[in-house]
Amino acid sequence: MTSVPGIFASGDCRSGSTWQIASAVGEGAITALKIRDYLRSH
Ligand SMILES: Cc1cc2nc3c(=O)[nH]c(=O)nc-3n(C[C@H](O)[C@H](O)[C@H](O)COP(=O)(O)OP(=O)(O)OC[C@H]3O[C@@H](n4cnc5c(N)ncnc54)[C@H](O)[C@@H]3O)c2cc1C
């Protein structure tokens, strides 16, 4: 999650990204799970 609650970032737009497809895909999956957790807690 970014510094703005409820706003998530993954892939190339994220600071520190490796700029590789495999990383972006993996981060996307993790981010989806984090969003699910966030929505469940709200
Ligand atoms: C020329 C080139 C060659 C590459 N070669 C390789 C390679 O060989 N191997 C490798 O692993 N990686 C390679 N990469 C890197 C790889 O393409 C990226 O790391 C990967 O695509 C990042 O995925 P992403 O989903 O984070 O971003 P992106 O694939 O850039 O997706 C972002 C999406 O957001 C959309 N978007 C942007 N602004 C908005 C907005 N305001 N509203 C709605 N949608 C918006 C864009 O249209 C785009 O569809 C290459 C990149 C380039 C440019």
Ligand 1 atom with minimal separation from the 13 CA? 26
Cα(20) to centroid of ligand 1, in Å?
9
Cα(41) to centroid of ligand 1, in Å?
30
Average pLDDT for residues 18-39, to the nearest whole number? 97
Average pLDDT for residues 36-40, to the nearest whole number? 98
Q: Residues with beta carbon inside 6 Å of ligand 1?
A: 11-12, 19-22, 24
Retrieve residue 28's tokens: 């996307």
pLDDT bin (cut points 50, 70, 90) of residue 20 is: very high
Ligand 1 atom with minimal separation from the 10 CA? 26
pLDDT of residue 8: 97
3-state secondary structure of 24: helix
Average pLDDT for residues 16-21, to the nearest whole number? 95
Average pLDDT, the chain: 96
Domain boundaries, the chain: 11-40
pTM reported for the whole predicted model = 0.90
Average pLDDT for residues 2-31, to the nearest whole number? 96
